[in-house]
A and B are shown apart, each in its own frame.
Chain A
Amino acid sequence: MAAPDTPAGGRTSPVPERRPAAIVSHLDIIYRVVGGKRSNTSAIGDDEGESIFRNLIGRGKTVATVQSVHAVKDVSFVAYHGESVGIIGRNGSGKSTLLRAVAGLLPPTNGEVFLAGTPALLGVNAVLMSALSGERNIYIGGQALGLTKAQVKERFEEIVAFSGIGDAVYRPMSTYSSGMAARLRFAISTAAVPDVLMIDEALSTGDAEFRKRSGEKVDEIREKASTVFLVSHSNSTVRDLCDRVLWMHHGRLIADGPTEAILTAYEGWDPKKHPAGPPGIG
């Protein structure tokens, strides 16, 4: 408790003046999944009637309809202002869940998240309101991020220009291609210079030219002392944009350090050769 800034380990602490933007402490996220169930082989076929009956009376006993998924397990880290943090890991390793929890959009089951300012999360799947035009979604997103209506109006042209979707902005978002929707979401999320910007795979759907522009935008946001979190399966995107990487595996944070070192280890790890898991988790 004497000097909480200094990690107790052998490494010397980074400059103590660094201002944390996000503190994640022993975070656990357990999803409650309703509806999904493992089909019980004996319950299929002849005695289906019985299984329905059992399902009615012994809910959760024989054929559970509520499952829990432990998506993030005891994750702790501190991210600082101006830092750009990549989160890598295989599918289902808890990256996106972690990101959502850090954005305050998923309440922690255990542990705590502290965050400076307002986060904006930009996900590939983040639907604003797909029945509505891009224009209305810009107003909804912009105002939800804390801009006033007048400010959104003022930046409207800029947002549309940055997204590069042109007149499609007046069409319902349900008619957009995934790339167009991702570009528009990115443009909306960055219109307000959020204190913490979270990007979930969104950049990978854009074309090369858009990726370059969005990279510049991310740099610009970092220069304004904001923090950027990026979840991506594209190692080159992570290399380009991030100076620090968190490696998630089966819900655990197994490595946290400079981009190059972690990515090299990540790329060198072959799940077939090390089925027990990547190095560092014993």
Chain B
Amino acid sequence: MTAGPEGLPQTPPALSAEEAAALAKRHGLPSLGGRPPFGDYVGSLWGQRSFIWTLSTAQTVARNSSDRLGMLWTVLNPLLLIGSYYLVFGLLVPTTKGTTNFIAFLAIGVVIFGYMASSITRGSKSIVNNIGLVRALRFPRAVLPVAETLTQVVTVLPAIAVLMVVVIVTGEPVRWHWLLLPVALAMQTAILGGMVLIAARLVNISRDMTNLIPVAIRVLRYVSGVFFSIEAYAARFDPFVGDVLMIQPFALPIALVRQCLLEEAPIQWIQWAAGLGWAVVLPAFGLWFFWRDEAKYGRA
């Protein structure tokens, strides 16, 4: 490029792509286009744990500030939901086969599945809803879905308290099995973290996905034993289908919590092992899957 007619100073000629890369290499400048190696990524995510916590508490505060009744809804909502499900599946079209304490059985299904549904619905939008943050600052993007998962943990705690009240009121005895409840919830949260990471990337690729997620959740709500015992109805299916229905990662956490809290549901350690498997495999796969697009989050 030569000097312009109006005395524009000469622009330094562009380096070729190879020259630029060599110059960057000599001075140790990393390329922005690529994503960091997966190991480094996991490390940097761990390094951001305090930031994750800051974001998560901030989100919790922001959400509860908009409703006048605020935190009260986190208690009222599960109660209303349990009530309406009981009306339909307890009284109108009973699906109580194979259960003795149906109200507690149903309450566990509603609360635990509700936790999964809201985690995935909210978590899938954790990138697109925070696009301002993504475009203004550079940080490992997985921070956002992980923070959203944590936010959901905090939000579900009042519902768990409601659940405990329902369980006690309906006459379940206090047993040592209750101590397993935090373990079951921790495994469920890990599973959800993995799913949220997967969903967040999918929604970032195509926002149309946000329309499919409610459909998927509705289908899962009906097949995951929220309001009926899969075991009691398993005879209707091919044994393979029955097994799949029982150990799929949406049904399994519900079954595990029932084993903790209901006397009628004996502990099945094989299911706990399967839960642990999901709790390891899904977050690991989810993080890897999310990391694949690390450089692409925030693109308009």
Mask, B30-52, CB within 8 Å of A = 1, is: 11110000000000000010110
User: In this assembly, does A106 line the interface, its C-beta being within 8 Å of a C-beta of chain B?
Assistant: yes
Whether, in the assembled complex, B24 has its beta carbon less than 8 Å from a beta carbon of chain A, the answer is: yes
Residue among B18, B55, B65, B137 making CB contact with A131, cutoff 8 Å = B65
Q: How many residues of A contact B (CB 8 A)?
A: 74
Contact A143 B50 (CB under 8 A): yes
Instruction: Contact check, B51 vs A26: say whether CB atoms are below 8 A apart.
Output: no
Are B62 and A131 within 8 A (Cβ)?
Answer: yes
Residues of A close to B28: CB separation below 8 A = 116
- Which A residues touch B241, using CB under 8 A? none
For the complex, give the distance between the alpha carbons of A24 and B29 in Å. 11
Contact with A along B280-300 (1 / 0, CB 8 A): 000000000000000110111
A100 within 8 A of B: yes
Interface contact tally, CB-CB below 8 A:
190
Tell me whether B12 and A77 are in contact (CB under 8 A): yes
* B58 interfacial contact with A, CB 8 Å: yes
Chain B residue at minimal CB-CB distance from A113: B32
Contacts of B14 in A (CB 8 A): 25-26, 74, 76-77
Contacts A116-B29, A132-B62 supplied; 12 other A-B pairs, CB < 8 Å: A7-B15, A9-B13, A19-B27, A20-B24, A23-B23, A108-B32, A123-B136, A126-B132, A140-B54, A268-B6, A278-B4, A279-B5
Asked if A225 is at the interface (CB within 8 A of a chain B CB), the reply is no
Contacts of A9 in B (CB 8 A): 10, 12-13
Across the interface, do B61 and A132 meet the contact criterion of CB distance under 8 Å? yes
Can you identify 8 A-B contacts, CB atoms within 8 angstroms? A23-B20, A25-B14, A115-B29, A116-B28, A121-B136, A149-B54, A256-B11, A257-B9
A262–B30 contact, CB under 8 A? no
- Shortest Cβ distance from residue B252 to the other chain A in the assembled complex, whole angstroms: 35
- Encoded as 1 (CB less than 8 Å from any B CB) or 0, chain A from 37 to 71 comes to 00000000000000000000000000000000000
Are A107 and B296 in contact, CB atoms less than 8 angstroms apart? yes
Q: Is B138 positioned at the interface, with any CB of A under 8 Å from its CB?
A: yes
- Could you tell me if B299 and A106 are in contact, using CB atoms closer than 8 angstroms? yes
By the criterion CB–CB under 8 Å, are A111 and B31 in contact? no
The CA-CA distance from A24 to B20 in the complex, in Å, is 8
- CB <8 Å contact, B32 and A104: yes
**A208 part of interface (Cβ distance < 8 Å):** no
Question: Assuming the A-B contacts A127-B132, A129-B62, A256-B12, are A149 and B50 also in contact, with contact meaning beta carbons closer than 8 angstroms in the complex?
Answer: yes
Q: Are A33 and B300 in contact (CB under 8 A)?
A: yes
Taken residue by residue from 11 to 47, chain A's Cβ proximity to chain B (1 for < 8 Å, 0 otherwise) reads as 1000000011111111000011110000000000000
Select A105's contact among B48, B58, B298, beta carbons within 8 Å.
Answer: B298
Whether B174 sits at the interface, judged by CB under 8 Å, is: no
Counting CB contacts under 8 A, is A228 at the interface?
A: no
Instruction: Mark out the residues of chain A between 125 and 141 whose CB falls within 8 Å of any chain B CB in the assembled complex.
Output: 125-132, 136, 139-141
The answer to whether B207 has its CB under 8 Å from any CB of chain A is yes
* Bound Cα distance from A128 to B19, whole angstroms: 37
Instruction: Say whether, besides A112-B33, A136-B61, A144-B51, A26 and B136 are in contact (CB < 8 Å).
Output: no
User: Interface of B with A (CB < 8 Å)?
Assistant: 1, 3-15, 17-24, 27-33, 48, 50-51, 54-55, 58, 61-62, 65-66, 130, 132-139, 207, 295-296, 298-300
Give min CB distance, B186 to chain A, whole Å: 24
Identify the interface centre among B3, B62, B137, B207: most chain A CB within 10 Å of its CB: B137
Interface centre among B6, B11, B130, B299 (most CB of A within 10 A): B11
Asked if A103 is at the interface of the complex by the 8 Å CB criterion, the answer is yes
Within 8 A of B (CB), among A88-121: 100, 103-108, 111-116, 118-121
User: Are A126 and B135 in contact (CB-based, < 8 A)?
Assistant: yes
Nearest 5 CB-CB pairs, A to B?
A127-B132, A279-B4, A76-B14, A25-B20, A280-B4
Q: Note all chain B residues with C-beta closer than 8 A to A114.
A: 20-21, 23-24, 29-32
Cα-based distance from A3 to B205 in the complex (angstroms)? 42
With A113-B32, A279-B6 known as contacts, the answer to whether A106 contacts B11 (CB < 8 A) is: no
- Contacting residues, chain A, for B61 (C-beta < 8 A): 132, 136
Determine if A170 is an interface residue (Cβ-Cβ < 8 Å).
no
With beta carbons under 8 angstroms apart, the residue of A106, A113, A127, A269 that contacts B31 is: A113
Interface assignment of A276: CB less than 8 Å from any CB of chain B: no
Report Cα–Cα, A140/B29, bound state, in Å: 27
